Structure 1
Amino acid sequence: MHEVECFHKAKRSWAHCTRACAPLPRKQEKISLFSLLHLPWLLFLSFNLTLLPIPKTRITITITITITITASYPNSSQQSQPPDPDCDGVSGKQKMAKKRKASDIEAMPMEEKADHKKKKKKKKPPMPPEPEEDHLPNAVSNFRISDPLRAKLKDKGIQSLFPIQAITFDTVLDGSDLVGRARTGQGKTLAFVLPILESITNGPAKASRKTGYGRTPTVLVLLPTRELACQVHADFDFYGGAMGLSSCCLYGGAPYQAQEVKLKRGVDIVIGTPGRIKDHIERGNIDLSQLKFRVLDEADEMLRMGFVEDVELILGKVENVNKVQTLLFSATLPDWVKHIAAKFLKPDKKTADLVGNTKMKASTNVRHIILPCTGSARSQLIPDIIRCYSSGGRTIIFTETKESASQLAGMLPGARALHGDIQQAQREITLSGFRSGKFMTLVATNVAARGLDINDVQLIIQCEPPRDVEAYIHRSGRTGRAGNTGVAVMLYDPKRSNISKIERESGVKFEHISAPQPDDIAKAVGGKAAEMIVEVSDSVIPAFKAAAEDLLNSSGLSVVELLAKALAKAVGYTEIKQRSLLTSMENYVTLLLEIGRPIFTPSFAYGVLRRFLPEEKVEAVKGLSLTADGNGVVFDVPAEDLDTYLSGQENAANVSLEVLKALPRLQQREQQSRWGRFGDGGGRGNRFSGGRGGGGRNIRFLNDRFSNGGGRGRGNWGGKRW
């Protein structure tokens, strides 16, 4: 009887303990000794045992057994949880952690509590859903692009193709020869990379493509510059690598041996410049017998750089032209490019022309600006142009000579030079640093105009107008690429320029501006300087507060005035110098002279100035030019003598002399070269007479030193000394 009672008591104690400590699992599982040894709570078991049979003696022994066990149910989604004494869904462990955190915060000083609240992360608003790819124009999913290529395009953030890519994709993939023309920066490279890769891996060229060690190339791509060759090779390597294709890049300045080793191992795609490709062909390193594609990219630039003979020799090495597909891409179509297309492309070739007969041949995503500047003022002006128009982005400056590129790069903080005299290895390091943002300004000769394909170049500066219109189109096209916008600033000497020719042939309507003035610079960089100051940690205030108070008390300036000086110093300005609107020279001021009637010649304007100014002041006048309306002249004077010029006009009747705030349109010097030193009426005139022959009172407001008119001998307006 006593044994039974003790047994039932022990059984009830065990059941009560297990119910109080943890809920039973939903799934009936056999709890092994290993599982019991992993329960995270304590069980207290009490047994009351009465020992018999000692008569008349009752000994009660209480045994307390403490077992520490942790339950672990591997591979089970129904894991047991720590006890929840309040039955509110929060475990005791979580509540203890919250209590500790609350006690820690309560123990903080008041200032630290405030900082702790600020550090709490705010919930970010949900991101707007991205547009579905199928709804995008020219979506990648609409084209015969295999999954590996789609994945690579997605890695680059490309969801849809550019117009030139979309128009030419099926044409190339279906096997037709092609002439493609588009403005710079519109994605011509991928227009041939994508369909070529698809064709040789999944299309018509797959069956006949050679594989294995020592295979001959299937694709040959010719480009005008080393830099552009490297960039096109990078695209073939990135996308072709996903298709199991290999490529190599051949250009001058690199060792032959490494290139020969790659060619002997076998490659699918060869990219390079005409000179080095020709050398390898003559050495027997390149076999074009199995060629399926040949591509001429930037064909017009090859003509300009003198690669005509090399290109024709390389293209002529292909014996069976009917088995080769030829693609020609160019931004412009000069006669030689048309000749190449007619000679080496099949008669049924296709044409994709996104420029056509439209007048605007330069990039439409670019703001085209011209600014008058003499050669001596460039180094002073260019830093301010960068401050005002680069928006903190990358800038490329083009010069005509290697020497000027090196000199200008040395004058600009953090700039690097890129030209033909620099070793190829260093050029690649320079370009890599420019792309990665290690420095933001690159000074280059025309060697880099076609070789840079960087989408986030914000500003292009051309130190002088190029010799031909195509060069301007390609230089300005280094910005505004891949749908981005940019600014192209061209400096020109007012005395020697061909601005109207570039406007006429490129379709560009230039925006005429003058050199950045102090107000322009302050607006451009003042905001950035203010942000820099605000971002300084408050911890520096106690260290500098005393010095700031002393400065405020001793300077005699207001807080705003001192802060203005601090902002100027933060961006590198210690003084503001006056700058000419006409020539951009520092310490010069631009004036406008009007006399109430037309001024036909500069000599007449000099005569007016001599009426009320000393001869030495007249000789100090620089850059005198006629306004486009013919009613005045503009010129520069030293800033220190400004009062002398302005006060002198009081001694002359009907003379107006004022300081310009903005430069008016001026007469083009090109007109002078068009008419030369002859009067409008034809024949040769003298300094103040009309030309011989011709006739009529045909007045042109030309910026030369000869009057206009017609008739024999003196013209209608000749001979009269104003």
Structure 2
Amino acid sequence: MDSSEKKEKKRKKKEGEEPEKKRKKSEVPSSPEKSDIDVENPYALENFRISDAVKGMLREKGIKALFQIQAQSFDIVLDGDDLVGRARTGQGKTLAFVLPIIESLRKSSSGKKGYGRAPTVLVLAPTRELAKQVHADFECYGGAAGLSTICVYGGSQYGPQQNAMRRGVDIVVGTPGRIKDFLDRGDLNLKTLKFRVLDEADEMLNMGFVEAVEAILGAVEDTSSVQTLLFSATMPSWVKEIATRFLKPNKKTVDLVGDEKMKASNNVKHLLLQCAYSARSQMIADVIKVYGSGGRVIVFTETKNDASELAGSLGTNVARPLHGDIPQAQREHTLAGFRSAKFLVLVATDVAARGLDINDVQLIIQQCEPPKDVETYIHRSGRTGRAGNTGIAVMMFDRKKEYMIPMIEAKAGFKFEKITPPQPSTIAKESSFTAIKAVSAVSDSVVPFFKEAAEQLVSDCKRPAMELLAKALAKIAGCTEVKRRSLQTSHDDATTLLFEVSKPIHSVGYIFNALRGFLSEECSSSIRRMNLTADGKAAVFDVPSAMVDEFLIGNDGADNFTISIPEALPELTAKPERTGGYGGGGYGGGGSSRGGYSGGRGNRGGFSSGRGRGGYSGGGRGGRKY
């Protein structure tokens, strides 16, 4: 600070003006992006006691300022206090303890070299994936201070980890089970410990590590010179007990959650898509094309078999499964491939994906069944929109589980935006961008090898070059045929049609009569799921895709209504009724579960011309009259 800046600061103080650093918490941005100029941002790196070497490494990764949990924890940890930190998923809890610990060790020279030295830092993480990510951060930023780090977890060989311990190490990061094993074997000495960290303590409780965690914390005999840092999104009774038993009475708290309910990330757009289980594979492929933006995607499944089957259906060049039955070495190889973009879709179970911290995931898909509790939804959707980025979470659901949706919305504090199944025009438009990128990325050096084939293609096919290029892009994008699907059920054997008139429609009976005037009996009886729109001037209904042309052609001569294929589902007056299959047999050729749109006798459902049972009827016994 030069002399002019000092004089200006004194002048403000004398005149009663509040210095910039004393601004109220409500005026402090919650993330670095909220400030246009770094020096005016109280979370800018320049405002913290971070060494130049570490600052340089942070800037190389595009980090110019700390996030709120990091900024509010930094001085507390560096000044030697115990800490309880609470923040939602994706808000940067890892660097909240990594950075101040590294700076503390650098200042005190606690990481001095020496063969067989015992660690000064012990970090417990609930999963091997999270442990490896914490280890990577310590290894990256701690390297600037000459600190050595090791990561230990179950499923990996003891030998190399044991040898590293014997050689001497400064920082040990690991899962509770493997850490306890090393303590029991006498391979881990905690007598020189300066820091012990519990990362995602509530998840350790959920995963059954209570006894192991308590044993590890209790193994430190003299805690007077040990700082304990506990980070947890929620504070169940066991976590509170741990904080009371093992942290000092004068511990500090940084709470960015408070008494509010567990909330979903504000950086994530939450979308809702109805989809029958049988249609899930193709639907997920199309959702990825439309919403994935060519980036990384994680699809969550309920079972290991679902993960393997879905990954297989998407194609091994596109997706890989991640679940508990996959050997540890293969899981690490899979995660490495996902991070390096060798493939872009990870199909995972909750246990396998817990603790994953991959900042550039564009899309999360939860297939066909809402999770059993809101915490699971928040965990899943929180894998995107991390570290200040934005993301999209699509939850697919079957009608049988629709009742769970309002419960998730109420507890997680947001409203889903309902979307309809992607249609061919949308899929083609979004996929074409990916195809263009793929073509643009091809090296000019290979063009001469394919030029002759391209010229022959134009000559043999006798089509304009533009059409052939469009076909090539379609092939690259994986869109080789136009296949419509119902906007109401997502079934790809049905198409949703829109019936519009200029005057209000008081009942579906009016529509039935209009359609029956030009349709064959077969087409009439194939209609299902007819529902009026909210404005009362239109209706939607599903028909077999093979019969769409008969509806559209027969509509040509009408002067009081139109029939078209909508790209999106309009707002309806009520939820679509449950229906049976196509055709007139059984209950529900096209109407509610009690029957189709029926004119009377004949089939128990669908359009017919005699006395009918149930259904929407123009007369006859048992039908509704309009």
Shorter-chain TM-score: what band?
0.7 to 0.9
Q: Which residue of 2 aligns with 1:252?
A: 154
Tell me, yes or no, if structure 1 residue 181 matches structure 2 residue 86.
Answer: yes
Larger radius of gyration: 1
Q: 1:426 pairs with 330, 334, 354, which one?
A: 330
1:278 equivalent in structure 2: 180
Partner residue of 1:294? 196
Change beyond 3 A, Cα 1:642–1:233: same
Range with bigger deviation, 460-469 or 228-237: 460-469
Q: Using a 3 Å threshold, how does the CA distance of structure 1 residues 657 and 351 change in structure 2: closer, same or farther?
A: farther
Q: 1:213 to 1:293 in 2, by over 3 A?
A: same
- 1:577 aligns to what? 483
Q: Name the counterpart of 1:512.
A: 418
The TM-score, its normalising length taken from structure 2, stands at 0.73
Q: Give the Cα separation in 2 of the matches to 1:618 and 1:268.
A: 77
How far apart, in 1, do the equivalents of 2:401 and 2:85 lie? 36
SS in structure 1 at match of 2:90 = coil
Cα 1:521–1:643, aligned 2, differ >3 Å: closer, same or farther? closer
Q: 2:264 aligns with which of 354, 362, 380?
A: 362
Separation in 1, partners of 2:142, 2:443:
48
Q: Which of residues 230, 239, 260 in structure 2 aligns to 1:337?
A: 239
Give the structure 2 partner of residue 460 of structure 1. 364
- Measured against aligned partners, the alpha-carbon deviations of 1:440-487 in whole angstroms (never above 9, x if no partner) come to 222221134333222222222221322221222222222222222222
> Where does 1:592-603 land on structure 2 (aligned, <5 Å)?
none
**Which deviates more from structure 2 when the two are superposed, residues 314-323 or residues 324-333?**
314-323
1:496 alignment counterpart? 401
1:437 aligns with 2:341: yes
RMSD: 4.2
The alpha carbon displacement at 1:277 in A equals: 1.7
Matched, 1:551 2:551: no
The corresponding residue for 1:83 is none
Deviates more, 1:182-191 or 1:328-337: 328-337
Structure 1 residues 547, 194: closer, same or farther in 2, change over 3 A? closer
Match of 1:224 in 2: 126
1:586 corresponds in structure 2 to 492
1:624 CA drift (Å): 8.6
The range that moved more, 350-359 or 477-486, is 350-359
Question: Counterparts of 1:581-660 in structure 2 under 5 Å?
Answer: 581-590=487-496, 636-642=542-548
Q: 2:284 aligns with which of 375, 379, 382?
A: 382
Distance in 1, Cα, partners of 2:537 & 2:149: 64
Deviations 1:269-294 (A, max 9, x none): 22111222222222333233433222
Distance of aligned partners of 1:478 and 1:618 in 2 relative to their CA distance in 1, 3 Å threshold: farther
**Residue 486 (structure 1) aligns with:** 391
Cα deviation, residue 533, structure 1: 5.8
Deviations, residues 534-579 of structure 1 (Å, cap 9, x unaligned) = 7786755565435414423xx6xx6655554343233222211111
Cα pair distance change 1:454/1:377, threshold 3 Å:
same
Conservation of the 8 A alpha-carbon contact between 1:210 and 1:216: no
The percent identity for this pair of structures is 59
- Cα deviations by residue, 1:639-663 (Å, 9 ceiling, x for unpaired): 23457889999xxxxx999865423
CA 1:656–1:648 in structure 2 vs 1: closer, same or farther (change >3 Å)?
same
Gaps of 5+ in 2: 1-35, 556-560, 579-592, 595-621
Q: Distance in 1 between matches of 2:525 and 2:491?
A: 17
Q: For residue 472 of structure 1, what is the aligned residue in structure 2?
A: 377
1:404 equivalent to 2:310? Answer no
Residue 168 of structure 2, aligned match among 266, 280, 299: 266
Superposed CA deviations along residues 315-341 of structure 1, whole A, max 9, x for unmatched, are: 333334443322122333444434433
Pairwise CA distance, 1:223:
0.9
CA distance in 2, matches of 1:152, 1:559: 50
Q: Could you list the per-position Cα deviations for residues 586-620 of structure 1 after superposition, in whole angstroms to 9, with x for gaps in the alignment? A: 12123679995699xxxx9xx99xx9999999997
Aligned to 2:72: 167
SS in 2 for 1:514: coil
Counterpart of 2:21 in structure 1 is none
Matched residue type, 1:426: Q
Paired with 2:305 and 2:129, the residues of 1 have a C-alpha distance of 20
Q: Which amino acid aligns with 2:74?
A: F
> Residue type of the partner of 1:576?
V
Partner of 1:55 in structure 2?
Answer: none
- Matching of residue 195 in structure 1 with residue 100 in structure 2: yes
1:525 aligns with 2:427: no
For the 8 Å contact 2:272–2:395, the answer to whether it is kept is yes
Give the letter aligned to residue 196 of structure 1.
I
User: Distance between the aligned counterparts of 2:196 and 2:214, measured in 1?
Assistant: 12
Contact 1:274 1:310 (C-alpha < 8 Å) held by counterparts: yes
Counterpart of 2:274 (choices 372, 382, 386) is: 372
CA contact (8 A) 1:216 1:290 kept: yes
Taking structure 1 as reference, are residues 137 and 254 closer, same or farther at Cα in structure 2, changes over 3 Å only? same
The SS at the match of 1:397 is strand
- Change in CA separation of 1:525 and 1:637 when aligned onto 2, cut-off 3 Å: same
Cα distance in 2 for partners of 1:146, 1:484 equals 26
Distance of aligned partners of 1:596 and 1:628 in 2 relative to their CA distance in 1, 3 Å threshold? closer
| Corresponding residue of 1:699 | none
3-state secondary structure, aligned to 1:296: strand
Q: CA deviation at 1:263?
A: 2.4
SS at match of 1:508: coil
8 Å CA contact 1:280–1:286 kept in 2: the answer is: yes
Take 2:473 and 2:172, find their aligned partners in 1: how far apart are those partners?
54
Quickly say closer, same or farther: Cα 1:243–1:518, change in 2 above 3 A: same
Conserved 8 A contact 1:449-1:474? no
Of 341, 346, 350 in structure 2, the residue corresponding to residue 446 of structure 1 is 350
Find the aligned partners of 1:405 and 1:344 in 2 and give their Cα distance: 40
CA deviation after TM superposition for structure 1 residue 377, in Å: 1.2
1:351 aligned residue: 253
Structure 2 residue aligned with 1:395: 297
SS state at 2:283 partner = helix
TM-score using structure 1 length: 0.64
Distance across 2 between alignment mates of 1:248 and 1:647: 71
Note if contact 2:528-2:542 (Cα within 8 Å) is conserved in structure 1: yes
Q: Residues 531 and 574 of structure 2 are in contact (CA less than 8 Å); yes or no, is this contact kept in structure 1?
A: no
Q: 2:617 matched to which residue of 1?
A: none
Distance 1:668 1:500 in 2: 16
* Contact 2:322-2:353 within 8 A present in 1 as well: no
Residue 496 of structure 1 aligns to a residue whose secondary structure is: helix
Tell me, in whole angstroms, the C-alpha distance in 1 between the residues paired with 2:196 and 2:520: 71
In structure 1, distance between residues paired with 2:344 and 2:75? 39
How far apart, CA to CA, are the structure 2 residues paired with 1:289 and 1:598? 80
Check conservation: 1:220, 1:294, Cα contact below 8 A.
yes
Instruction: Please tell me whether the aligned partners of residues 398 and 445 of structure 1 are also in contact (alpha carbons under 8 angstroms).
Output: yes
Tell me if structure 1 keeps the 8 A contact 2:370–2:401.
Answer: no
